[in-house]
Each structure stands twice: as structure tokens, then as C-alpha cells.
Amino acid sequence: MKSFFKFTFASILGIIIGGFVLLFLGIIIISAVVAGSDKPVTIKEKSILEIKLNQQLVDRGSDNPMANFNFLTMSADANIGLNTILTNIEKAKTDEKIKGIYLNVTDVPANFGGMASIEEIRNKLKEFKTSGKFIVSYNNFGHSQKAYYLTSVADSVFLNPEAGLFLLGMGGERTFYRKFLEKIGVEAQVIRVGKYKSATEQYFRDDMSDESREQTMAYVGAMWNQLLEGISEERNISVEKLNQLIDEVAIRKADDAKKYGLIDGVIYEDEMEDKLRKLSDIKEDKKLRLVSTADYEKGPDANYKFSKNKIAVIYASGAIGLEQNENAIGPELAKTIREARLDSTIKAIVLRVNSPGGYANVSDFIWREVKLATEAKPVIASMGNVAASGGYYIACPADTIVADKNTITGSIGIYGLFFSGEELIREKFGLTTDSYGTNEHAAFGGSYPLMLPISSRKFTPTEKEIVQNIINNGYDTFLSRVAEGRHMTVEQVHEVAQGRVWNAMDAQKNGLIDILGGLETAIQLAKEKSGVEDYRIVSLPKLKDPIEAIVEELTGSAKTRILKNELGSFYNTYEKTQDLIQFGGIQARIPYEIDLH
């Protein structure tokens, strides 16, 4: 016994000492990184702003150097904020020290960003060109369709001789789980409202319904046409010719792209650097003055003026659930909106929504605060890549809704998804259950003996009727919220709702949004409606400070980091499985994850 206590005490002491060592190392790392990040950056004459697109694009970048630090790899998990890129391009437009922009599109990740975000950057680059400064792009390995669409706006587009360019069209593939669930003895119990609310089809069908295919082809087709028209305009190739080349898969190599006029040259990276020297008037034997977006953000901004007036940009990014962080929306967002409403220095609010929806009741919490905010000051909703279902729910009270042409929105509907596993539990695991209760429905829906969201039995007819009534009431509430916010009748909303997903252009025709435009359009509109002449932007919710970031990294988020490192590209599959577990029950959520290739 004595040796047991001795061993236990030594173990506890070791854990405590280890914790202090980790904390000490963390403080050293924070101090070093923060000191480096605070170092002022001087922009030299004849500099070029280099925009590297080798990071995942998110709506909001962080100036906290620890925000994305991975202690497992001792490096930062790369992402770049749309707000950072837009601000830098605007700043460079009038900066006499910046000669032009170099789009370095080597190593663009597959999940780089959605079409709406890409469109906004592209439009900003087109605006930059009016300054008379150059934009050139280069890719060492090859273009994805989205990356090429973005860089086609450049004055000159160059590829490495061995790089490829594949334009194949937009499409995807969905997986259906009905037969798999049947094999393991599980059945999906689906209760939904709206013939287009196809979020649950993959669990009770083997293929897409006609309604699902119809709405999918409508928004994918609109997005593809937008891409083709943009390339056609910049490269002076007809849409008909582009479609012909694509159907024939005529463009595969860099030489093919040059032959058909999609790029301007086939060169190596050193030759690209020579071109940049000439464009920026730097001698051949001198080093190029390339300035990264991170460094340029720290440089002086002649356009910046301090103002006591603020316009709050409140970021609502991710699925709507019970937790709030930079990639998820929780009940805390309602508190952030309330604080902005009560802050007299905030003259207007821009609610930036990039969400597929999620928990219906949490969406309603947030809706309430947005509605109250509109009674106190102008509220403009700015929709990103996706603002659908619950994402639309929280945006609909806004005074004005702004969305990009490529925004996916709508999906006004509710569904319930529940799994029963009588065969799995009884036949395969050999478990039996026996219910008891003080009232008739005390054991509503059965139990969960496997500690998974799989109940021991199906709903009884009465239980199913009760859940259907809850879903119907939720849908009626959703319709009334939209009708109130959009000044429509419930009947008018129902006509364009029923769970249907819309692209922004069709959504505008149907009265679901007001203006086509991006985040900057929304901010300008907020300024006009607030009546202020000068203002500064404040981004909310407030990001964690370095100490909070390191504590979170060493505790909760460490699990996610480990899984990402170990699973690699399979992490997305794991995440979708977790979504299936988390987002059972009653949801206001888009039918499926939109990932266009």
C-alpha cells in the first residue's frame, strides 16, 4: 500500500510539473510570436503585393498570431481572411509604393473557398485595374477551375511548362446510405416539410429525387454560366467556344491553354521573376520586393482615419449549434448582437452570414436579437458563399439583404431526422429493452442503449404525429418570420420556400434578397443608412487573445488537431459522420454540403 501511494503521488507530481513545463513553453512561444507580429513593416518603393492563394479562404482573418497555431506541428494552420485580401487590394490601389499585384496561385488547396468569396476578390481585382497598375498571375503546378476563374482577371496569366489546366464543368456526387443502414439493421425516420427539403434523402433513398436534381442543376448551372461568362469577357473567347473545348477535354496541358488563348505564356518560375523585375523597374541583379498580405496589412495605411463612429461587422460563420467559435455559430452570437445594439458608438450593423443552418431553436434566439437590433439602428445582412435554411432565418429580419451572384440561399424549411435500430439492437447485439413510466408517453421514442443517436424502436403512430406537428409548427414559424422580414404574405413565402435552394439571382427575383453585391457593398450601404460621414470597422465577436488561444489549444481543441494530423484528407469524412450524429433531431439546415469541383 505504501508503494502504491508513493507511485500515485509521483504520477500526480509528474503531471503537475509537465503542465507547468507546457505552460512555460507556451508563454515563451507566445512572447516570441507576438513580438514578431508586432514588428512594424516598412514598404519600400517599387514593391509588388504578392497574394498567395495557398491557404484556405475564410470570411474573417485573425491578427492574433496564436489563433491558428498548431502545437502538434509547431506551425500555424494556414488560412487567410477575405476581409484581409479585400482591404489589402483597396490599400494597394492608391499606394504609390506598390507597382502592382502578383497572384501566386501555386498550391491552391481544394477547399480554398466558395464561389461567392472568389467572385468578391475577382471584382475587387477588376476595380484595382482601374488604377493603371498591373496584375499578373503564375502557377507552378496547375489550375483548378475556381483558381483559374479568379486569375483570369489578371492582365497576364502564366503557367509552368509542366503544369496543367483542366476545365471540365461543375458537378459532384452524393452518397446514399439507405442500403447500408438496412444491412446493419438501422432505419431512418424522416419527418419533413417542403418537397424540396432534400436534406434527409440520402438516408431513405438510393438516388436524387426529381426535386433535388431540379434545384441542384438550377444553382450549379447559374454558377457555371457565371464562371464561363467571366472567363469569356477577360480572355475574349466566346462561351460557345469554351463549352466546346471543355466537352472535348481539349485543354489539358499548359501548351493547350496557351494555344486556345486561356493563358499568355508558358514559363518557369525564374522567368516569371524576371518579368516581375521588368514590371516593377527593378534591375536584373537586384532582389524582387514582394510584400506578403500579412506584412502589407501591418504597413502604414494612408487611407485610415480614426473615428469614434463604428460600423460593426458581425461574423456568423459555420453550422448553427450549441457551441460558438470561429467556425461555428452558437447562442453566444445573440449576445454579441445584443451588445452591438446597446453600444451607442456602433451606428450600424453588418451581419455577415456564411452558414448552412442547423438547430432551429438557436436560429430563433439569434433571429430575435437581429430583429431587436433593426429597431435601434440599421442592420444589413451580407451573405457569403452559403446563407441557407437557418442561415437565412437569422438574416431575414435585416433592413436590407445583400448577396453575391454566386451565393446559395433559401432552403426555407424544417426537417426531423431520427434513427431507429430495433434489428441492430435486438438481433445483432442481443440487447432487449423493457419500458416503464408514470404516463402514457413517458418513454417517448424509446431509449438509446448503444449510446448512439439510434433509438431502440420506431415512433408509434401517435409519437410520429406529435413530431410531425412540431415540424409543421416550426415551418409555419419560419414562414411567418420571413414574411415579416421581407414584407410578404405567408402564402407568397410558401410559394418560394418548401425547402428549395436558390442562387442569389433567382432569390432576388423571388423577393428573398434585395441587392446583389459583396461585403463591401453591405458596409457602404450601412454607412449610407446610418448617416455618418466618417467611421471605422469593428469586427465581432471579439477573437480570443493569445493567452486564451494557447489554453484552448492545450485543452479542448487539441483533440481536433490530433485527428486532423492523423486522418489527413479523411478528416472531412470523419467530420461529416460527426455532423450526422450532432445534427439529428429538428433542423433548419441546407440539404447537403455544397462542394463543386
Read off the pLDDT of residues 252-271 as tens digits, 9 standing for 90 and up.
999 999 999 999 999 999 99
Bridge partners (DSSP) listed for residue 419: 188, 454
User: Looking at residue 453, what is its pLDDT?
Assistant: 86
Of 52, 197, 527, 544, which one is the catalytic site residue? 197
pLDDT of residue 597: 47
Q: What is the CA radius of gyration of the chain?
A: 27
User: Distance of alpha carbon 350 from its chain centroid, rounded?
Assistant: 17
The candidate with the shortest Cα–Cα distance to 101, out of 115, 91, 111, 110, is 91
C-alpha torsion angle, residues 358, 361, 362, 367 (rounded to 10): 110
Q: What is the DSSP letter of 478?
A: H
The CATH number fitting domain 47-166+251-298, selected from 3.30.565.10, 1.10.600.10, 3.90.226.10, 3.30.56.10:
3.90.226.10
124 a catalytic residue? no
Would you say the C-alpha torsion 145, 151, 155, 159 has a positive or negative sign?
Answer: negative
Count the neighbouring beta carbons within 10 Å of the beta carbon of residue 468: 15
**In sequence order, what E strands does 26-146 have?**
47-52, 56-58, 69-70, 75-76, 79-81, 98-104, 134-139, 142-143
Helix, strand, coil in percent for the chain, rounding step 5: 45, 20, 35
Residue pair 418/455 in contact (Cβ under 8 Å)? The answer is yes
Residue among 117, 144, 389, 420 flagged as catalytic: 389
Q: What is the pLDDT of residue 325?
A: 83
0.75 exceeded by pTM: yes
For 163-179, the pLDDT digits (tens) are 989 899 998 889 999 99
- If you write DSSP's letter for every residue of 259-284 in order, what string do you get? HTTS-SEE--HHHHHHHHHHHTT--T
| Count of CA atoms in the C-beta half-sphere (13 A) of 567 | 13
- The pLDDT, as a whole number, for residue 578 is 56
Q: Is position 411 annotated as part of the catalytic site? A: no
The amino acid that residue 548 corresponds to is E
End-to-end CA distance of the chain: 64
Q: What is the mean pLDDT of each run of 10 residues along the chain (597 residues)?
A: 55 58 56 54 93 89 58 59 94 96 85 89 97 97 90 97 91 92 94 87 94 94 96 97 96 95 97 96 91 89 80 96 88 97 98 94 97 98 96 98 97 92 92 92 89 90 94 95 98 95 97 97 98 94 67 54 56 54 59 51
Q: How many residues does the chain have?
A: 597
List Cβ neighbours of 2 (8 Å cut-off, separation of 6 or more): none
Rounded Cα–Cα distance for residues 318 and 555 (Å): 22
Beta bridge partners of 138: 104, 158
Domain boundaries, the chain: 47-166+251-298
- The per-residue pLDDT for 284 is 86
CB–CB of 331/561 below 8 Å? no
